[in-house]
Amino acid sequence: MDIKKLTRAVSVSEQINHGDLARIAACGFKTVINNRPDKEARFQPRSQTLARYAAKANIDYIHLPVISGGLTNKDIEDFKAILESAQGPILAFCRTGTRSALLWAGANPDRLSAAEVSAIGAKAGYAL
């Protein structure tokens, strides 16, 4: 698991598994957002399983499935609403972290300039 900090409140990661949730909690994260639809990949952990382990680690778990390559304005609006209401710090994940980073960039909860969003993305390894 390679967590990439975008802002103080939001980080992104590639796919996590249930064994990562205790470590995620130990890192101080209060909320995890899963941006992968169930069954996107054959051996991917199911959302229900991750939610159960997140609860054991005292982490809020939210499943906002977004189809890879099919990001919509509604997805961005839903992600923004979650960021506004969820307890932080927040870790959002998908297969590689890119989808979650794009959702963050579209939501732009800190009202950053396009250049700032781009620079943060580049520093984390994403072309936003």
Write down the domain spans for the chain: 4-124
What topology does CATH give the domain 4-124? Protein-Tyrosine Phosphatase; Chain A (3.90.190)
CA distance 114 to 62: 27
Order of strands across the sheet that contains 31-34: 4-5, 10-13, 90-93, 31-34, 60-63
Longest Cα–Cα distance of the chain, Å, equals 39
| Torsion angle, alpha carbons of 103, 17, 11, 32, to 10 | 70
Q: Which pTM does this prediction carry?
A: 0.94
Residue 70 pLDDT: 87
**In which band, very low, low, confident or very high, does the pLDDT at 33 lie, cut at 50, 70 and 90?**
very high
Residue 68 pLDDT: 86
User: Per the structure block, which two tokens stand in for 57?
Assistant: 């680690």
Q: Is 23 helix (H, G, I), strand (E, B) or coil?
A: helix
pLDDT digits (tens, 9 = 90+) for 40-75: 998 899 999 999 999 999 999 999 999 988 899 999
Residue type, 52: R
Q: What is the mean pLDDT of residues 95-113?
A: 94
Q: Are strands 60-63 and 31-34 parallel, antiparallel or unpaired?
A: parallel
Nearest CA-CA partner of 33 in 49, 12, 19, 53: 12
